Amino acid sequence: MTQQVTLRPLISRERITARVSEIGQRITQDFAGEPVMLLGVLKGAAIFLADLARHITLDTSFDFIAVSSYGNQQQPSGEVRLVKDVDESLEGKNVILVEDILDTGLTLTYLRNLLLARRPKRLKIAVLLDKTPRRLQPVAVDYVGFEIPDEFVVGYGMDFAERYRNLQDICILELASEAV
Give the binding range for ligand IMP (CB under 6 A) out of 1-9, 31-39, 53-61, 151-159: 151-159
Instruction: Give the number of C-alpha atoms closer than 13 A to the C-alpha of residue 100, restricted to the C-beta side.
Output: 21
Q: Does position 158 bind ligand IMP by CB under 6 A?
A: yes
Euclidean distance between CA atoms 127 and 135, whole angstroms: 14
Site string (21-60) toward Mg ion, x via CB under 5 A? -----------------------x----------------
Site string (98-127) toward ligand IMP, x via CB under 6 A? -xxxxxxxxxx-------------------
Closest CA to 119 of 158, 84, 146, 93: 93
Binding positions for ligand IMP, 33-52, rule CB under 6 A: 44
Q: Which residue is nearest to Mg ion (CB)?
A: 44
Strand partners, 162: none
Q: How far is the CB of 105 from ligand IMP (least distance, A)?
A: 5
Closest CA to 63 of 32, 33, 85, 34: 85
Q: How far is the CB of 147 from ligand IMP (least distance, A)?
A: 13
Answer yes or no: are the C-beta atoms of 129 and 101 closer than 8 Å: yes
To the query of whether residue 159 is one of the catalytic residues in this protein, the response is: no
User: Hey, CA dihedral for 69, 152, 146, 57, is it positive or negative?
Assistant: positive
Closest CA to 40 of 26, 27, 50, 25: 50
Q: Does position 60 bind ligand IMP by CB under 6 A?
A: no
Q: Which is nearer to Mg ion, 18 or 83 (CB)?
A: 83
The contact set with Mg ion (CB under 5 A) reads 44
